Structure 1
Amino acid sequence: MFAGGVRRVAGGWAYLGVHQITTTWFPSTRHFRTTYKTIRGKRYQVTTETVTEGRSYKTYKMSKGFARKISAYLAEMGVGQGVLDKMKATPASDIQRITLHDMLTMKLATSTDTVELFTGVILCMGDKPAPNCREIAEDARPAAVTTAKPAPSRQAEAPSSKPAKAPTAVPFRGAAGNAAPEMRFVVVRGSDPLCDPDCPEWISAEGAVTPRTPQKLRQLLAALDNPRLPIVISSRGGDLFGVLAAGRLIHERKLDVVVARTNILGCNPPGAGCLDDNGAYVGLISQFGVECDSACALMLAGGARRLVDPKARLSVSSMGQKRIVEAYLDEMAISQGLFAAIDQSSVERELEPDVMLKVGLVTGPDTSDTLTGPAICRSSPKPDNCRLPPSANAQAKTPPEL
């Protein structure tokens, strides 16, 4: 059934297995008896058939006829015959899993994408929504919630040596009618079973940057036992001076930054009862629906290692305050090529991966797995953001009972 799809994806959590198809046989014996009847002087032949059903039985080996049918079906769907070979090689009492790599080799899967290729929120946000996006009629929508208008952002304080008026903060540029929530920082622990119990942790940073953002980040770092956690950021920009202050703090603490998105599992982060024993949320990294626009790129520029996931969208545009932005990028040791790209873009311009690498905005082609992947805690030396949960530590310290 899966093979019949036009696009066929199976993410890392999917389990696809095959086995031998059981054939049930229903033997029968047929007896024919021919008799003759004479009607009005004419002789007619009458044949009767008697069927005797035998005892049914099953065989655990695929019949040649069934194998030919499956082979023809797979060929019609454009899928390789390796699927049939694996089915034949696996007893009906067992299931052989087909890995994603083998699925691609056999053309059973069409790409390495996950379900978000078809169901991600970003699909309905562009100028041309995907065919499976549907707008809900006004009368079917829930009543609108009235929200208070946010207070205007505070202006940056001018240095004492310059009593001139402070520059005006550059506002967040969001989609029309879509007020982005303020950036929040939460500590997240990876939930991939491949790393359990020693899983990586990171700081999730999502939302619009405001003048309060640097202080919130500073307070979180001060409260952490391990202040060297990498930052996973997804933001459509925000207050320019808030971004510059946050970028300098990241640069000062030598933190790594990656543009990706965190999916919190189990509950909404602001709710109660969401934290594990470590005081962290539990989540997974997602490459879909990730945006780092405008001033967000400047926050990324502060990182020690700076990575962007391949499916993330990173764009820049002119934000004013040219001298301040240029001096900041020079302080972060970023090529003047990035400032030129920002200065020359009156509208948002998406940067390609090779351009980001050329201007030094990213430090390499690596992805978020370099900092948050489930396998990093098995390497030696172990990264700073790996630690065992309290329960595992207590187990390790408790001597076994004799």
Structure 2
Amino acid sequence: MFAGGVRRVAGGWNYLGVHQITTTWFPSTTHYRTTYRVKRGKKYRVTTQTVTQGESYKTYEMSKGYARKISAYLREMGIGQGVLDLMKATPASDIRQIGLHDMLTMKLATSTDTLDLFTRASLCMFDPPAPNCREIPGNKPAGGQTPVAKPAVVAAIKAKTGPPLSQAAKAPAPKPLQAAPGNSTPDMRFVVVRGRDSLCNPDSPEWISAEGAMTPQTPQKLRQLLDTLGNRRLPVVISSQGGSLFSALAAGRLIHERKLDVAVARTTIVGCDPPEAGCLADNGAYVGLISDFGVECDSACALMLAAGAKRLVDPKARLSMSSRGQTQLVKAYLEEMEMDPALFAAIGSVERQLEPDMMLKVGLTTGPESVEALTGPAICKTSPKPDNCLLPPTAKAESPAKL
């Protein structure tokens, strides 16, 4: 289906793979029995057909007939025959991933662009707009373009890139999590949170709170937030009951690329109105508290954890993991994350809960510490301070006696 597109983009974070096509045969035997019957002095021939089904069997090599059909289809779509060669060379029990460079060589992908080539908001600002832009009738008054059309596009672009840091303090509090489609668990949301300890220490650590179910939109949401942070490396504090396996792998690769630390814990954002003191830090982070009691991190969540530079799970948290039936895919990902092979050997296709000693033994966690090692107020008193400690400008102007 992908090969049928006029323009075909896969980006750098998506997985495209091929494998051998198996054929299941259902042999049958047909018997014909001819008899004659005389009726009113005339002889009539009667033929009876009987079909006997044999035992089915499967062949694990692509038949010549299928190879010819696929070859003809690829030629019609303008795709190189290298795709078919890879399919025939890959066992049916495996999947061969095709890298972006190879996709371009085989003409399977037409460019290195991502989905934004077709869906970015600026496409609808062109004159004429892109063919897939559709104007909502209620937004355009009679006789001309609506005055809110372009601001709406600008607003969409700002929503994608995030507010400037100078305006972040005016941003509203995050909206309540909404249930992910087809799932009673809320869709995963990423926000920057600043800790608040009982001593009112202004130099509190910050982290990225990642909570909810993983959906196809999860990697893009994480990428957008990381782009707003620039070179800052904040730890990711995750709490999730799982979700899309492929989204977890894509998000994990983002975390691995940025060399971010990951810890399993829950973040509680302190509710207040934006005008109130202490609601938002000057850099736009929300004030929050960390809790690791009874936190769950299941399957896809554990794969995101595996991508962290440091990987911490409190003993009170519950973590489970499985290959979700994608054995080769998960194995290749864990190898890419430089995980100990013992981790893959310890999991199977059935969800299995991993105890703290086991996680440490197989290398899923890097130490026995909890999330406090990344988000506790004491870490900002060390020298040098970690990257996620940022003293707000207002706190620098205040003396300790005022706190």
Q: TM-score range by the shorter chain?
A: 0.5 to 0.7
Q: Deviations over 1:255-283 (max 9, x none)?
A: 000001111112599xxx95333211111
Distance change (3 Å), C-alpha of 1:197 and 1:354: same
In structure 1, C-alpha distance between the alignment counterparts of 2:389 and 2:210, rounded to whole Å: 19
- Return the match for 2:185 from 174, 180, 184: 180
Equivalent residue runs for 1:341-380 within 5 Å:
341-343=346-348, 345-346=349-350, 348-380=351-383
Q: Confirm or deny: 8 A CA contact 1:316 1:341 kept in the other structure.
A: no
Equivalent residue runs for 1:2-401 within 5 Å:
158=16, 162=83, 179-194=184-199, 196-224=201-229, 227-267=232-272, 275-343=280-348, 345-346=349-350, 348-395=351-398
Paired residue secondary structure (2:248): helix
Shift of 1:220: 0.4
Q: Confirm or deny: 8 A CA contact 2:232 2:387 kept in the other structure.
A: no
Q: Confirm or deny: 8 A CA contact 1:195 1:374 kept in the other structure.
A: no
Paired residue secondary structure (2:191): strand
Q: Confirm or deny: 8 A CA contact 1:194 1:375 kept in the other structure.
A: no
In structure 1, C-alpha distance between the alignment counterparts of 2:238 and 2:287, rounded to whole Å: 16
Q: Gaps (5+ residues) in structure 1? A: 1-154, 168-173, 397-402
In structure 1, C-alpha distance between the alignment counterparts of 2:210 and 2:220, rounded to whole Å: 13
Distance change (3 Å), C-alpha of 1:298 and 1:268: farther
Shift of 1:162: 4.5
Residue equivalent to 2:58: none
Shift of 1:289: 3.0
Q: Deviations over 1:328-352 (max 9, x none)?
A: 1011111222212322x52x22101
Paired residue secondary structure (2:377): coil
In structure 2, C-alpha distance between the alignment counterparts of 1:370 and 1:390, rounded to whole Å: 25
Q: Confirm or deny: 8 A CA contact 2:14 2:250 kept in the other structure.
A: no
In structure 1, C-alpha distance between the alignment counterparts of 2:186 and 2:256, rounded to whole Å: 25
Q: Deviations over 1:125-180 (max 9, x none)?
A: xxxxxxxxxxxxxxxxxxxxxxxxxxxxxx9663686588xx9xxxxxx9xx9611
Residue equivalent to 1:148: none
How many equivalent residue pairs?
A: 227
Normalised by the length of structure 1, the TM-score is 0.52
**Which is richer in helix?**
2
Report which of the two structures shows the higher radius of gyration computed on alpha carbons: 1
Paired residue secondary structure (2:357): helix
In structure 2, C-alpha distance between the alignment counterparts of 1:268 and 1:185, rounded to whole Å: 20
Q: CA RMSD in A?
A: 2.7
Amino acid paired to 1:302: A
Amino acid paired to 1:158: L
Shift of 1:387: 0.9
In structure 2, C-alpha distance between the alignment counterparts of 1:226 and 1:190, rounded to whole Å: 20
Amino acid paired to 2:16: A
Paired residue secondary structure (1:199): coil
Residue equivalent to 2:119: none
The percentage of counterpart residues that share the same residue type is: 70
In structure 2, C-alpha distance between the alignment counterparts of 1:208 and 1:190, rounded to whole Å: 24
Q: Deviations over 1:362-383 (max 9, x none)?
A: 0000111110001110011111
Shift of 1:394: 4.4
In structure 1, C-alpha distance between the alignment counterparts of 2:312 and 2:360, rounded to whole Å: 10
In structure 1, C-alpha distance between the alignment counterparts of 2:336 and 2:16, rounded to whole Å: 20
In structure 1, C-alpha distance between the alignment counterparts of 2:273 and 2:256, rounded to whole Å: 30
Q: Deviations over 1:302-344 (max 9, x none)?
A: 000000012100011231221111011011111222212322x
Amino acid paired to 1:263: T
Paired residue secondary structure (1:375): helix
In structure 1, C-alpha distance between the alignment counterparts of 2:290 and 2:312, rounded to whole Å: 14
In structure 1, C-alpha distance between the alignment counterparts of 2:304 and 2:15, rounded to whole Å: 20
In structure 2, C-alpha distance between the alignment counterparts of 1:244 and 1:268, rounded to whole Å: 36
Q: Confirm or deny: 8 A CA contact 2:195 2:287 kept in the other structure.
A: yes
Distance change (3 Å), C-alpha of 1:195 and 1:369: farther
Q: Gaps (5+ residues) in structure 2? A: 1-12, 18-78, 88-94, 96-178
In structure 1, C-alpha distance between the alignment counterparts of 2:344 and 2:200, rounded to whole Å: 40
Amino acid paired to 1:289: G
Q: Confirm or deny: 8 A CA contact 2:323 2:330 kept in the other structure.
A: no
Q: Confirm or deny: 8 A CA contact 1:195 1:375 kept in the other structure.
A: no
